[in-house]
Amino acid sequence: MKIADSTQDTLVNEVRLMLDELPFDGARVLELGCGKAEKTRLLAETGRPREIVALEVDAIQHRRNLQIADLPNVHFRHGGAEAIPAVDESVDIVLMLKSLHHVPVPHMDQALGEIARVLKPGGLAWISEPVFAGELNEVFRLFHDEKAVREAAFAAIRQAVATGPLHLEKQLFFNTRSFFENFAQFDQRMIQVTHSNHRLAPDVYRRVKEKFETYLTPEGATFHPPQRVDLLRKAG
């Protein structure tokens, strides 16, 4: 297993990639850290999963998600990956879309153990994580450096694979697209978030704005951040 592969830079829509790679038809899906449920919606609207349980630890965002009334096959739950509110061997597919590194480091092993517990034998876990590289990362790290927690997340996955019952099916490396019309939109989406308390000192905020604007064109700022997927399968 490797944490990054700089030779793989194909631009990919991750939802489309998941739809190609995962057996969603009739599946019971658990999404850990669904955020604003944007990808949850895209998956649900395909009609392929039988049910999606979307878990979110951020209480503010979870309350907002509960207002979503047009996704009858989606059930929103409040909680974290280290204590999944689901019975043993009840889930076909687990999704963690850039959320494992948000789990407190001391609880990462427990979270992966919980994934193994709730997966049916032969079930799949799609764990995607941002690679610590790229232009967007150069802006983001000025106020929130995630190098250590991303490395810890990868180490936890390697440990889970080494000890079982999860084993590595494959790794995928690709780039995704992130677009911001201006710095105000970047501020709203990346700094003014409810799941983290980014209180930036004025000088830090200025440096972040200046760095972002080096990538800004009259059409906006487009980034292609690199990603890694570790696709794990439960034995059985």
* pLDDT score for 196: 74
Does residue 174 surpass a pLDDT of 80?
yes
* pLDDT score for 166: 98
- The partner residues of 223 in beta bridges, in order of sequence, read 178
* pLDDT score for 74: 97
In tens, the pLDDT along 22-76 reads 999 999 999 999 999 999 999 999 999 999 999 999 999 999 999 999 999 999 9
Q: Give the ranges where the chain is alpha helix by DSSP (H).
A: 14-21, 38-44, 59-65, 108-118, 135-140, 147-163, 183-186, 202-213
Does residue 138 surpass a pLDDT of 80?
yes
Fold of 14-133+144-175+227-234: Rossmann fold (3.40.50)
What share of residues in the chain are helix, strand, coil (percent, to 5)?
35, 25, 35
Q: Tell me the mean pLDDT in the region 230-234.
A: 98
Q: What is the pTM of this model?
A: 0.94
Q: Tell me the mean pLDDT in the region 112-140.
A: 98
Answer for the pair 156, 100: CB distance below 8 angstroms, yes or no: yes
Compute the distance between CA of residue 222 and CA of residue 178 in angstroms, rounded to an integer.
Answer: 6
In tens, the pLDDT along 183-228 reads 999 999 999 987 777 789 999 999 999 999 999 999 999 999 999 9
- The partner residues of 53 in beta bridges, in order of sequence, read 30, 75
In tens, the pLDDT along 65-107 reads 999 999 999 999 999 999 999 999 999 999 999 999 999 999 9
Does residue 1 surpass a pLDDT of 90?
yes
Answer for the pair 33, 111: CB distance below 8 angstroms, yes or no: no
Query: Does residue 135 sit in helix, strand or coil?
Result: helix
In single-letter form, the type of residue at position 171 comes to: Q
Summary mean pLDDT of the chain: 96
* pLDDT score for 128: 98
Domain residue limits, the chain: 14-133+144-175+227-234
* pLDDT score for 68: 97
Query: Does residue 118 sit in helix, strand or coil?
Result: helix
Compute the distance between CA of residue 51 and CA of residue 188 in angstroms, rounded to an integer.
Answer: 31
Rg of the chain taking only CA atoms, in angstroms: 18
* pLDDT score for 197: 76
Region for 89 from its dihedrals, namely left if φ exceeds 0, alpha if ψ lies in -120 to 50, beta otherwise: left
